[in-house]
Structure 1
Amino acid sequence: MTDVALITGTSSGMGLHAAVDLARRGLTVVATLRDLSRATALKAAAHDAGVELDVRELDVVDHEAAARVVGDVLAEHGRIDVLVNNAGRGSVATAEQLTMEQIQAQLDINYLAPVNLAKLVLPGMRERGSGRILTVTSVGGAVGQPFADAYCGAKFAVEGFMQSLAVVAERFGVQVGVIEPAAVASEFVSNVERPTATGAYGPLLDAYLSRTAGAFSQAQSAASAGAVIADLATRTGFVFRNQTSDAARNFVGVSLADGDGERVLGFTRPWIA
């Protein structure tokens, strides 16, 4: 039976490329995006690659809608073997510039949405004794960065959740991991929320944005990052923490001596032995 993959955030960027690449590898791919009117590029890429996608609308922060989509996919395809939580959004602001509503919005899309989808697919995977749940986080899930307070906070949170879940889920044959890109050429930057009033933080923010622009001028291509996601979703070998480029590995290494997360899992596995 053909494996079924559900991937979110596929209107552009690495999500689009990952969806097409997964289909090219022979999986049945359910590609979701928040607005179906933005599916033109995705459908064109699938056509050019000679593959078919099951394209569906899903605003991942709508938990009831997520439950309906997962239920429909299970009813129509019979299973979900791979979940790729790719949908996300950035935020550039420091604590004083952020409203609690903005912080909540970051948690909603970057933390609670992937958690909800993981919960929705886990019962079927557990009962079948197999499955793979991958969440695209960021190097900002391992390294806190200035003016990324809400974004990094949400990414740290989802990495902690998934790392805690991983050692329990593997007892039932379900593999859980995170994927940490560094700068990727995509629409992500243009969608980042920025403060309108900078005040005393203006010079610091300007310096940060200048450094960020330099990083994105040498960004990994979305196609390359998407191919890495597809590879991690399908390859035989599996580790918890994965990066999409050498730049990402070097960046994460600043904070994590445990580069692939296996040392932490080795430490916590005996806790439930």
Structure 2
Amino acid sequence: MTSVLVTGCSSGIGLETALAFARRGDRVHACVRDPDTAGELLRRARAENLTLDVPRLDVTDDASVAAAVHGVRERHGAIDVLVNNAGIDRTGTVETMPQSDARAVLETNLWGPLRTVRAVLPSMRAQGSGVIVNVSSLAGRTFAVPHGGFYAASKAALGTLSEALSAEVRPFGIRVVCLEPGSFASRINRDSSVAVAPSDLSAADPYTADRAWTARFLARVQEGAGDCGEVAEAVLAAVDDPGTPLHTPVGKDAETALEYLGSASYEQWLPAFLQQAQSLVGPRPGGAPE
């Protein structure tokens, strides 16, 4: 029986991934930051008669990560698979996003996976095997959209560190995969849209109108978002297939976007992006750059 630890399981990709592993009989540790948010996960597990361990794990807290991983190992033995899924998004400009929000994105999306990786690697090295799946984003592989710089930076950094990590742990029999989903109907996207709702925008912010325009665009993109179960299937496939590429896009939109970009420069990409966005939500305030 494979022992799997998944972070961020209260909803979305993490929830679907935890259930997918449990369906095939793996021992699943479906971690949540706040146990009070695990209701949907537990309800669906009961409905399917699935067994799940639901430890508390806050990826932004060193002690929480250490305690959760230690507790799992004490009760159930070695962790064979780590799925770093927990993440947040905050939308805003490089100039005006509050420092606290910018730091929270990097703390969760970059340092969070690093904490869990460092916690599980000693036992994986000792057993000579293991798989680490970092759930990144298409945003980490493409050019950053306006108001999405900190999220994209966190995911790009996670992808880069996954490359170094892969080379470092391969001699110990450990594989690393960095999945890069496109647009999926997860709570992280809904939370991001709420964060930039027009009612929350300050008239003193010089980017207010552009930020509201971006919020409308993100909402339109989310209308066509895919099912998180597709990402869960990709996680399982990556764990099972040693030939899975380190960087693996998930979703037709992710594959199409990467094919379209090819060797395109930022200067070539930006006008095309703005044209597409404006076709969905109208002219960008102030006009688009030529």
Q: How high is the TM-score relative to the length of structure 1?
A: 0.88
Work out the percentage of aligned pairs sharing the same amino acid: 30
CA offset digits 1:186-235 (Å, max 9, x no partner): 22223224363263323322332232222111110122222222332333
In structure 2, the CA distance between the partners of 1:255 and 1:77, relative to structure 1 (3 Å rule), is: farther
Q: Flag the 1:160–1:236 CA change in 2: closer, same or farther, 3 A.
A: closer
Rounded Cα–Cα distance in structure 2 between residues aligned with 1:135 and 1:150: 18
Contact 1:19–1:230, Cα closer than 8 Å, also in 2: no
Aligned mates of 2:12, 2:232 — CA distance in 1: 8
Q: 1:197 corresponds to which residue?
A: 202
What is the distance in 2 between the residues matched to 1:27 and 1:236? Answer: 18
- Partner Cα separation in structure 2 for residue 164 and residue 134 of structure 1: 14
Provide, for residues 154-210 of structure 1, a one-character-per-residue CA deviation record: whole Å limited to 9, x for no partner: 111111111111112111110011111111112222322436326332332233223
CA contact (8 A) 2:10 2:32 kept: yes
Q: Residue 188 of structure 1 aligns to a residue in which SS?
A: helix
TM score, norm. by length of structure 2: 0.83
Does the Cα contact within 8 Å between 1:142 and 1:256 map onto a contact in 2? no
Aligned partner letter, 2:211: L
Aligned length: 256
Report the CA distance shift for 1:43/1:235 in structure 2 as closer, same or farther (over 3 A): farther
State the match for 1:269 in structure 2. none
CA distance in 2, matches of 1:256, 1:171: 32
- Contact preservation (8 Å) 1:70, 1:121: yes
Match of 1:268 in 2: none
- Kindly name which structure, 1 or 2, has the bigger radius of gyration based on alpha carbons: 2
**Larger RCO (CA under 8 A, 6+ residues apart):** 1
Identify the residue that residue 135 of structure 2 maps to in structure 1: 136
Output the CA distance in 2 between the equivalents of 1:41 and 1:181. 23
Deviations 1:13-45 (A, max 9, x none): 111011000111221000011111111110111
Equivalent AA in structure 1 for residue 2 of structure 2: D
**CA separation of 1:256 and 1:29: change in aligned 2, threshold 3 A:** farther
Residue 154 of structure 2 corresponds to 154
Residue 83 (structure 1) aligns with: 82
In structure 2, the CA distance between the partners of 1:256 and 1:241, relative to structure 1 (3 Å rule), is farther
Partner of 2:164: 164
**How far 1:236 sits from its partner (Å)?**
4.3
Provide the secondary structure at the position in 1 that maps to 2:189.
coil
**Unaligned stretches of 5+ residues in structure 2:** 264-290
Q: Do the aligned partners of 2:6 and 2:84 also contact (CA within 8 Å) in 1? A: yes
1:255 is displaced (CA, Å) by: 5.0
Structure 1, unmatched stretches of 5+, are 258-273
